[in-house]
Amino acid sequence: MSFLTFLGLRQAKSNRTQLTLLDVLHRTLVSGLAALSVYGLFLGYAVHQETLAKGRGTCFY
């Protein structure tokens, strides 16, 4: 038994179930959407900070 198997981070080969194409596509879609959400939050924050910085430097007539 390896250390990773002992910790539960890796299963023995005989107990593994084979991933189907649908499983791989679903995992790819979910991880891609999660990454896109994090990227969107980052961009929203960056645009907000830029807008605040521009607002500090403008004069209102």
Asked if residue 7 belongs to a domain, the reply is: no
Asked if residue 1 belongs to a domain, the reply is: no
Asked if residue 43 belongs to a domain, the reply is: yes
Asked if residue 3 belongs to a domain, the reply is: no
Asked if residue 49 belongs to a domain, the reply is: yes
Q: What is the mean pLDDT of each run of 10 residues along the chain (61 residues)?
A: 68 72 92 97 93 75 43
Q: How many domains does the chain have?
A: 1
Asked if residue 4 belongs to a domain, the reply is: no
Global pTM reads 0.59
Asked if residue 58 belongs to a domain, the reply is: yes
Asked if residue 9 belongs to a domain, the reply is: no
Range of the domain at 28: 18-61
Please tell me the number of Cα atoms within 13 Å of 57 on its side-chain side: 6
pLDDT at 61: 43
**4-20 burial: b if 16+ Cβ within 10 Å, else e:** eeeeeeeeeeeeeeeee
